[in-house]
Amino acid sequence: MSAHCQLTGAKPGFGNAISHSHRRTPRRFDPNIQHKRYRLPGEGRTVRLTLSARAIRTVDSIGIEAAVARIRARGGKV
Protein backbone atom coordinates (compact mmCIF):
# COMPACT_ATOMS: atom_id res chain seq x y z
CA MET A 1 0.00 0.00 0.00
CA SER A 2 1.38 3.38 -0.92
CA ALA A 3 1.72 6.23 1.54
CA HIS A 4 -1.28 8.12 0.16
CA CYS A 5 -4.21 9.74 1.98
CA GLN A 6 -7.67 9.06 0.55
CA LEU A 7 -9.19 12.32 1.84
CA THR A 8 -6.52 14.98 1.40
CA GLY A 9 -4.41 13.34 -1.29
CA ALA A 10 -1.24 13.74 0.78
CA LYS A 11 1.59 11.70 -0.70
CA PRO A 12 5.33 11.44 -0.15
CA GLY A 13 7.57 14.38 -0.87
CA PHE A 14 11.08 13.88 -2.14
CA GLY A 15 14.31 15.64 -1.30
CA ASN A 16 17.84 15.11 -0.12
CA ALA A 17 19.30 14.01 3.18
CA ILE A 18 22.32 16.24 3.82
CA SER A 19 25.06 14.79 6.00
CA HIS A 20 27.48 16.68 8.22
CA SER A 21 30.01 16.67 5.36
CA HIS A 22 27.23 18.09 3.12
CA ARG A 23 26.92 15.01 0.91
CA ARG A 24 23.42 14.64 -0.48
CA THR A 25 21.53 11.38 -0.78
CA PRO A 26 17.92 10.96 -1.94
CA ARG A 27 15.21 10.48 0.66
CA ARG A 28 11.41 10.46 1.05
CA PHE A 29 9.24 12.49 3.39
CA ASP A 30 6.25 10.19 4.05
CA PRO A 31 2.98 11.54 5.46
CA ASN A 32 1.74 10.10 8.75
CA ILE A 33 -0.63 7.50 7.25
CA GLN A 34 -3.00 5.54 9.50
CA HIS A 35 -5.66 2.91 8.78
CA LYS A 36 -8.92 3.77 10.52
CA ARG A 37 -12.34 2.12 10.56
CA TYR A 38 -15.49 4.23 10.60
CA ARG A 39 -19.15 3.29 10.79
CA LEU A 40 -21.28 4.68 7.95
CA PRO A 41 -24.80 4.88 9.37
CA GLY A 42 -26.31 5.98 6.05
CA GLU A 43 -25.11 2.79 4.32
CA GLY A 44 -25.29 0.49 7.33
CA ARG A 45 -21.68 -0.70 7.07
CA THR A 46 -18.15 0.07 8.21
CA VAL A 47 -15.41 1.39 5.97
CA ARG A 48 -11.64 1.16 6.40
CA LEU A 49 -9.93 4.33 5.24
CA THR A 50 -6.26 5.15 4.74
CA LEU A 51 -5.90 8.64 6.18
CA SER A 52 -3.17 11.00 7.26
CA ALA A 53 -3.20 12.24 10.84
CA ARG A 54 -4.42 15.64 9.63
CA ALA A 55 -7.28 13.99 7.70
CA ILE A 56 -8.38 12.08 10.82
CA ARG A 57 -8.83 15.43 12.57
CA THR A 58 -10.76 16.68 9.53
CA VAL A 59 -13.11 13.68 9.70
CA ASP A 60 -13.65 14.38 13.42
CA SER A 61 -14.70 17.94 12.64
CA ILE A 62 -16.82 17.53 9.46
CA GLY A 63 -18.19 14.04 10.09
CA ILE A 64 -17.72 10.75 8.28
CA GLU A 65 -20.60 11.23 5.83
CA ALA A 66 -19.17 14.53 4.53
CA ALA A 67 -15.66 13.04 4.41
CA VAL A 68 -16.85 10.07 2.34
CA ALA A 69 -18.65 12.49 0.01
CA ARG A 70 -15.35 14.39 -0.48
CA ILE A 71 -13.45 11.16 -1.18
CA ARG A 72 -16.04 10.13 -3.77
CA ALA A 73 -15.96 13.62 -5.34
CA ARG A 74 -12.19 13.22 -5.80
CA GLY A 75 -12.86 9.98 -7.66
CA GLY A 76 -11.86 7.67 -4.81
CA LYS A 77 -13.54 4.39 -4.03
CA VAL A 78 -14.99 3.79 -0.58
Express each pLDDT in 26-75 by its tens digit: 999 999 999 999 999 999 999 999 999 999 999 999 999 999 999 999 99
Given this model, what pLDDT does residue 2 score? 80
Q: How many CA atoms lie within 13 A of 55 on its CB side?
A: 24
Contact predicate 55/12, CB 8 Å: no
Query: Model-level pTM?
Result: 0.85
Q: Spell out the residues 6+ positions from residue 50 whose beta carbon is closer than 8 angstroms to its own.
A: 1, 4, 5, 6, 33, 34, 35
